[in-house]
């Protein structure tokens, strides 16, 4: 059983931070890059969670039980690679279609989102006006 290397922990943190930052952007290409970076971070995390160094066979009879590596993190990393590849191709097709139809890959606000934002700003303006009236009445007393 080995402990997690500090350098790898910092690299994982950097990959996840960069991936989530790109994932929150409005450009579909940046979202795509964020998904790819998060996929690489997930694969690296799964390999680090395995603990054993590479090259030790997980088959019985090839090595002592103490020297075997756990095949589960490797299988999970392969599954994560397939999922990341599928999501990448879907987002790439989506970005390409958006580029064809709109001429850019920026995600637009939904009409309902704009309506909710306008109502929220109107309510906050009304609350601000009510607070000003209360302060004026208190000041005149």
- Tens digits of residue pLDDT in 6-34: 888 899 999 999 999 999 988 888 999 99
Of 44, 48, 65, 46, give the one whose Cα is nearest residue 56: 65
- pLDDT at position 1 over 50: no
Structure tokens at 129: 């006006």
| DSSP-H helix ranges across the chain | 6-23, 28-50, 71-102, 111-140
Q: What is the pLDDT of residues 48-81, one digit of tens each?
A: 887 666 656 666 667 676 667 777 888 888 999 9
> Does residue 32 contact residue 91 with C-beta atoms inside 8 Å?
yes
Q: 1.10.3470, 1.10.287, 3.40.50, 2.60.120: which CATH number matches 6-108?
A: 1.10.287
Sorted by where each begins, the domain ranges of the chain are 6-108, 110-141
Structure tokens at 86: 């599928």
Is the pTM higher than 0.75? The answer reads no
User: Which residues have C-beta within 8 Å of that of residue 105, sequence separation ≥ 6?
Assistant: 27, 28, 29, 95, 98, 99
């Amino acid at each position: 059983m080995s402990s997690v290397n500090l350098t790898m922990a910092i690299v994982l943190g950097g990959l996840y931070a960069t991936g989530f930052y790109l994932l929150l952007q409005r450009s579909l290409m940046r979202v795509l890059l964020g998904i790819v970076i998060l996929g690489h971070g997930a694969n690296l995390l799964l390999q680090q969670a395995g603990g054993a160094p590479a090259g030790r066979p997980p088959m019985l009879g090839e090595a002592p039980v103490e020297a075997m590596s756990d095949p589960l993190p490797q299988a999970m990393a392969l599954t994560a690679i397939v999922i990341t590849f599928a999501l990448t191709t879907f987002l790439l097709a989506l970005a390409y279609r958006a580029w064809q139809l709109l001429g850019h890959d920026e995600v637009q606000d939904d009409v309902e989102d704009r309506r909710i934002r306008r109502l929220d700003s109107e309510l906050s303006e009304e609350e601000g006006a009510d607070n000003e009236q209360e302060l004026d009445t208190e000041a005149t007393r």
